[in-house]
Amino acid sequence: MINLETPKKFEFLVSQAHQVATEIFRSNSRKYDADEHSYPKELDMLAAVIDGMNEGGALSGAGAGGVGESNGSGKARDGNRNGSNMASLLGLVELSWGDVGLLLTMPRQGLGQAAIAAVANVEQLKRFGGKWAAMAITEPEAGSDSAAIRTTATLDEKTGEYVLNGEKIFVTAGDRAELIVVWATLDRNQGRAAIKSFVVERDNPGLILERLEHKLGIRASDTADFRLEDCRIPKDNLLGSPEIEPKRGFAGVMQTFDNTRPLVAGMAIGVARACLERTRELLTEAGVEIDYDLPPHAQVAAASEFIAMESDWEAARLLTMQAAWMADNKKPNSLQASMAKAKAGRTATDIALRCVALCGSVGYGEGELLEKWARDVKILDLFEGTQQIQQLIVARQLLGKTSAELK
Ligand SMILES: Cc1cc2nc3c(=O)[nH]c(=O)nc-3n(C[C@H](O)[C@H](O)[C@H](O)COP(=O)(O)OP(=O)(O)OC[C@H]3O[C@@H](n4cnc5c(N)ncnc54)[C@H](O)[C@@H]3O)c2cc1C
């Protein structure tokens, strides 16, 4: 049975992640927000520490790098499991509480690892595991509608290589990662079933960096646009089965989202908690008392609004934990992953802006991180599928409609 308390065995992981978030992320938050595109070198030292801790098992799963091995460690009683998905989620919540932009550019992490874990075979897991992997799905003509992908992968029988051609935009950590998981089609005439994911080494000469984006938030994280020009990769860098199975449709590559959406929801939970905690401190300093024993109408408006935000946050957190728990327990979680992402993305964005409003000019000024968090948080409601797309997926699942029937 599901138990939505933080599992005891992950308490150490959470406290380590919190320490990193406090000492390294928070203290460098402003620096890399202001200095967009400069590499946060402080994170190299952190990566080395995390590698050491991973060897000892302490911080494994503190980021997206540890996600997805559904047979991860830690079988609980009665066959229930809190494994690598839950560990990653809890670690990410803490790190995002520190700074979500820096988290997104943390070496050895990257949402591409979740894609690898979702569909790679044992040999590929060994070869690519532990590397910093970005994920390149979006194209100029394919954003929400990933089935519209135009990048092609053609097998060169002579050399045993796939040759990739196309354009990929908005790739988080695209410039800094070691690997990029690229979605491409084996045959544009065969629709979504022909879309597969391919691992491309960042230094492949056929992967050409076009530009780095300038952004509203998460400015510590690089967002890269690429051209793939006769980009040759070994045949066995195709993740999963090379067969085009029309019946399975998109299922192979889409499995990635079942892993990544709860994690992005977790990032939103982390940022929103940072906003709530700081707002509470500022309200307390301003003499506003929050009394959980009083009904809303008997409190000052700010306290009553704060309690409402907290309960909304708690609902988002529980949904997100449920989605990760289901992934660890091999239960189909597409519906819950989208519900969690929709709820957490929307709630966190709402909380961040309301916290800025509650704190007035203090909240809006650069003297506080609240204004930065309000900028950072919006992306969590956009990438890995926007708010509207998550709602569409939820509606399709609840109504039993296909993507052709409900667009
Ligand atoms: C900072 C940043 C980082 C990113 N990182 C990555 C990454 O690492 N890898 C990657 O592959 N992509 C990444 N993306 C791309 C991101 O996933 C897309 O921007 C997102 O999927 C939306 O696609 P789009 O921008 O083309 O918008 P569109 O698909 O053009 O959508 C525009 C608007 O229309 C709405 N809409 C679209 N279709 C429907 C529908 N059927 N019903 C109702 N509303 C709809 C959308 O919700 C949105 O509000 C990143 C984007 C940003 C900004």
Closest C-alpha to ligand 1, atom 48 = 386
Instruction: Determine the average pLDDT of the residues in 148-155.
Output: 97
Q: Which residues of 110-120 are buried (b: 16+ CB within 10 A; e: fewer)?
A: bbbbbbbbbbb
d(CA 80, CA 4): 12
Q: Distance of CA 215 to CAs 151, 222, 267, Å?
A: 25, 9, 18
Length of the chain: 407
For the chain, the straight-line distance linking the first and the last C-alpha, in angstroms and rounded, comes to 35
Tell me which of 75 and 182 has the higher pLDDT: 182
181 pairs with which residues across the strands? 135, 199
Q: How far is the CA of 261 from the centre of ligand 1 (A)?
A: 14
pLDDT confidence of residue 55: 53
List, as one string, the DSSP characters of 328-376. Answer: HTT---HHHHHHHHHHHHHHHHHHHHHHHHHTHHHHHSTTSSHHHHHHH
Give the three-class secondary structure for 233: strand
* Centre of ligand 1 from the C-alpha of residue 380, in Å: 11
Q: Which of 113, 132, 138, 391 to mutate to test the pocket of ligand 1 (most atoms within 8 A of CB)?
A: 138
Residue 379 clears pLDDT 90, i.e. is over it = yes
Q: So what's the pLDDT on residue 72? A: 39
Tell me which of 103, 106, 263, 383 to substitute to probe ligand 1's pocket, judged by most ligand atoms within 8 Å of the beta carbon.
Answer: 383
Which pLDDT does position 26 carry in this prediction? 97
Q: Is-contact 42 24, C-beta < 8 A?
A: yes
Q: Of residues 139, 167, 368, 384, which has the active-site annotation?
A: 384
Tell me how far the alpha carbon of residue 149 lies from the centroid of ligand 1, in angstroms.
13
CB atoms near residue 375 (< 10 Å): 18
pLDDT value of position 65: 59
Distance, CA of 332 to CA of 44 (rounded, Å): 36
- pLDDT band, residue 110 (cuts 50/70/90): confident
Closest protein CA for atom 52 of ligand 1: 170
Residue whose CA is at the smallest distance from ligand 1 atom 2: 170
Q: State the pLDDT confidence band at 56, using cuts at 50, 70 and 90.
A: very low
- All domains of the chain in start order, with CATH: 8-116 (1.10.540), 132-239 (2.40.110.10), 249-399 (1.20.140.10)
pLDDT tens for 334-377 read 999 999 999 999 999 999 999 999 999 999 999 999 999 999 99
Distance 382 CA to ligand 1 centre (A): 6
**384 catalytic residue (yes or no):** yes
Mean of the pLDDT values across residues 1-28?
Answer: 91
The best mutation among 149, 170, 176 to test binding of ligand 1, ranked by most ligand atoms within 8 Å of the C-beta, falls on 170
CA 183/CA 201 separation, integer angstroms: 14
Q: How far is the CA of 80 from the centre of ligand 1 (A)?
A: 35
Task: Give this prediction's pTM.
Answer: 0.93
Q: Is the pLDDT of residue 69 over 70?
A: no
Amino acid in the structure at residue 221:
S
Higher pLDDT, 47 or 203: 203
How far apart are the C-alpha atoms of 136 and 173, rounded to whole Å? Answer: 10
Average model confidence (pLDDT) across the chain: 91
Identify the bridge partners of residue 238 per DSSP, sorted by sequence position: 198
Nearest ligand 1 atom, CA 174: 8
**pLDDT computed for residue 68 by the predictor:** 53
The residue nearest atom 32 of ligand 1, judged by CA position, is 144
Helix (H) / strand (E) containing 99 = helix 84-103
Q: What is the pLDDT of residue 74?
A: 40
Residue to mutate, 144, 214, 256, ligand 1, most ligand atoms under 8 Å from C-beta: 144
C-alpha closest to that of 242 among 204, 294, 285, 187: 187
Q: How far is C-alpha 6 from the geometric centre of its chain's CA atoms?
A: 20
Ligand 1 centre and the CA of 32: distance in Å?
25
- Residue 341 CA, ligand 1 centroid: distance in Å: 14
Query: Hey, what amino acid is at 16?
Result: Q
Kindly list the protein residues whose Cβ atom lies closer than 6 A to any atom of ligand 1: 134-138, 143-144, 170-172, 215, 223, 379, 382-383, 386, 388-389, 392, 407
Say if residue 59's pLDDT is above 60: no
- Segment 271-295 shows an average pLDDT of 97
Residues 6+ apart with CB under 8 A from 328: 70, 72, 81, 82, 83, 84, 85, 86
